[in-house]
Structure 1
Amino acid sequence: MARTIAKDHDHKRARILKSAARVFAREGFDRASMAQLAAECGISKANIYHYYDSKDAILFDMLETYLRQLRDGICGLQMDGLSAPDRLRLVVQEILLAYQGVDDEHRVQSTGISALPAEQQQLLRGYQRDLVVFLSDILADISPDVLRDNKEKLRATTMSVFGMLNWFYMWNSGADAEARKDYAALVSDLTLDGLKGI
């Protein structure tokens, strides 16, 4: 007879993933052990194996959940009727707000994806690519004469915006929502108007 799934299965799974993100960010994926993951989560090593058969499976599930939710949340924003500059402002703000509270997951994605099998890397990088394309399309709409037909300049502009957002995450990870909104406005002004915008 198949074992039934506990009512709190999803809650425990989410707790394991959050704890694993802390351990992977602190120790590095290669140095982390299942025993450390279990201890961080406050469960036995045997219990963690009830949910995941390896730390690789935990890493993939953690990154897949994080990146899919980030992609879906940003790409699913309701922006009907907004001008391209207003869409940029909304997307930049929502990205920074989405980064709040997920510092460990964000840090692990930059080093952990390459530890996974190629097909899993492809899926995760696809989520990242979707976000890049989404922002690129908005930037191209803002300045079609300059960016629409110049893919190199469009990519550089898009990645520069992400670079500014990731700078904030790296140096202001504990910032509250208001500080994130203020910085999002600064990034948007710089992107839209250059130094004249601030």
Structure 2
Amino acid sequence: MSPLANPDGTRPGLAAISADEDKVAARELISKLSTKGRGPKTGYARDEFGYAWMDTADGVPLARNGCDTRNDLLKLNGREVEFRTGSDCVVVSMTLHDPYTGKDIAWKKAKATEVQIDHVVPLSYAWQMGAARWDKQKRQRLANDVLNLLPVSGSTNSAKRDSGPASWLPPSKTIRCSYAVRFAQVAEKYELSVTAADKSMMLKQCGG
């Protein structure tokens, strides 16, 4: 689904934005973002955003439903999902359409790292752009908000690391405007600035 039609991230997938009027809407959203330089990484650690995939980050969709964030995302985005015996949470196999590469992945839990959950706005990027000054509850929300999370191929997620859009974009060119929109949606929701180079690159992906 197009991120413009999925502003809270609770619907599966990340479909391409191709219509001219949708690209105009995308550029309008991106244009609203404020810019500044990346601050220091001093003090950053993953656990500053809570333990990984916690189910208790209040104020975000799917919190406190008895299932951790990673499995929530696998259930939401996977097809032909199979669960561990006796569980309606723990996914053991599925087929995932990876929006970043455009390829389908036949995934099994035995090789868990073949699918990873990408933070669209990386946590260390957010830390440098203002999250270092947030309280722990807001950082936990960012780390577990489905709007900021997409299951993708592990190798692609590893290649992205903590890059902003000026340094990294999905390999699939058809999805790059949608990726820019999702990045902007997260930044707007959490009142995060982006770098001028990132904003320029995001606008470029949507015809700006």
- TM-score, structure 2 as length reference: 0.28
More contact order relative to length (CA 8 Å, sep ≥ 6): 2
User: Greater strand percent: which structure?
Assistant: 2
User: Greater helix percent: which structure?
Assistant: 1
Higher-Rg member (1/2): 1
- TM-score, structure 1 as length reference: 0.29
